[in-house]
Amino acid sequence: MNHFIDLWPVPSGELRSILNNAKSRKAARKGAPRGTVDKDAPLAGRTLAMIFEKNSTRTRVSFDMAIRQLGGSSLVLNSGDTQLGRGESVEDTAKVLSRYVDAVMIRANRHDDVEMFAKAATVPVINGLTEKSHPCQIMADLQTLEEAGLELKGSRIAWIGDGNNVAASFIHAAPKFGFSLSVATPPGYDPQRQDVERARAEQGRIDLFRDPVKAVAGADVVVADTFVSMGDKDAARRLRDLAPFKVSEDLMRHANGKAMFLHCLPAHRGEEVDADVIDGPRSLVFDEAENRLHAQKAILEWCLRS
């Protein structure tokens, strides 16, 4: 069964074909009304359930539109409204939902719950963000960079700020797509050591920095994310510790002259990035948000191909 919980177990050739499929489906329906179904309707009759334990705008709407454009349908479960929210086990929930729907996307507080859900489920399970990773986001990000003309292999991407869930998925992607990743974080905000070690063991180039200027030197892409992720309790401390890691025009000047800027959104202008960067000509953030739809169509198709 093809779960999409992290990039690690998916061979690079399959990740490449997911990206290619995302791009060709996007091109094939260019200009069509958003509610129309792709001509081949590859997921006709299939239903996706989406479980949310945390807030979401992009993931919720892009997955909903994705399954519709593939010919299927979706239903949204806010976990607090379900028996999960009253303590029904993850395993029982997985077994029950597997009798009703064809795939489940989960945005969860605990990555381990997504793993447990997938073990008990008999349908594909997709990680729509956990505290540990956000693999669907990175597929959209990489699609965006390729569409903007970047050849991923051999390129240099700089992650500035918190070594969080989104940073983790960039680390996972580095050896799969052959880009090098420079990560600049203050002490205490390092990415998970096991992610860095595994990426390096798989011939990925991951360089860790304390100085954002050094991390962005010569970078083709600069990436920022919120300093306070969903579930983080220590907002005041984070904002204080991470303040020197804000992406400003001044910092962008140290990157490659044509460097692009990414941010998965939602953004906090003036905290992790200045408005003139995120709203400026190097920013691809709205293409990136749009590509969540296209990348996830390809992920859904990969999960559900029979």
Instruction: Please report, as ranges, the residues that interact with ligand CP according to CB under 6 A.
Output: 56-59, 129, 137, 264-265
Long-range contacts: 172-175, Cβ < 8 Å, 24+?
172/6, 172/7, 172/8, 172/133, 172/135, 172/138, 172/198, 172/199, 173/7, 173/15, 173/138, 173/142, 174/199, 174/204, 174/205, 174/206, 175/12, 175/199, 175/202, 175/203, 175/204
Residue nearer to ligand CP on the CB measure, 42 or 260: 260
Number of Cα atoms under 13 Å in the Cβ half of residue 279: 6
Residue 41's nearest CA partner among 299, 297, 303 is 297
Residue nearer to ligand CP on the CB measure, 288 or 301: 288
146 contacts which partner out of ligand NVA, ligand CP, none, CB within 5 to 8 A by kind? none
User: What is the spatial distance between Cα 271 and Cα 294, in angstroms, rounded to a whole number?
Assistant: 29
> Catalytic: 137?
yes
Three-state secondary structure string covering 232-294: CCCHHHHHHHHHHHCECHHHHCCCCCCCEEEECCCCCECCCECHHHHCCCCECHHHHHHHHHH
Range 136-165, binding ligand NVA (CB under 6 A): 164-165
130 contacts which partner out of ligand CP, ligand NVA, none, CB within 5 to 8 A by kind? none
When binding is defined by CB under 6 A, the residue of 7, 103, 264, 298 that contacts ligand NVA is 264
Active-site position among 3, 46, 58, 292: 292
> Catalytic: 3?
no
When binding is defined by CB under 6 A, the residue of 104, 118, 136, 166 that contacts ligand NVA is 166
> Catalytic: 225?
yes
In the complex, minimum distance from the CB of residue 140 to ligand NVA, in angstroms, rounded to a whole number: 11
In the complex, minimum distance from the CB of residue 177 to ligand CP, in angstroms, rounded to a whole number: 19
Residue nearest to ligand CP according to CB distances in the complex: 59
Active-site position among 111, 134, 156, 172: 134
Range 206-225, binding ligand NVA (CB under 6 A): 225
> Catalytic: 134?
yes
Tokens standing for 44? 């006709």
Residues lying near ligand NVA in the complex (CB under 6 A)? 129, 164-166, 225-226, 229-230, 264
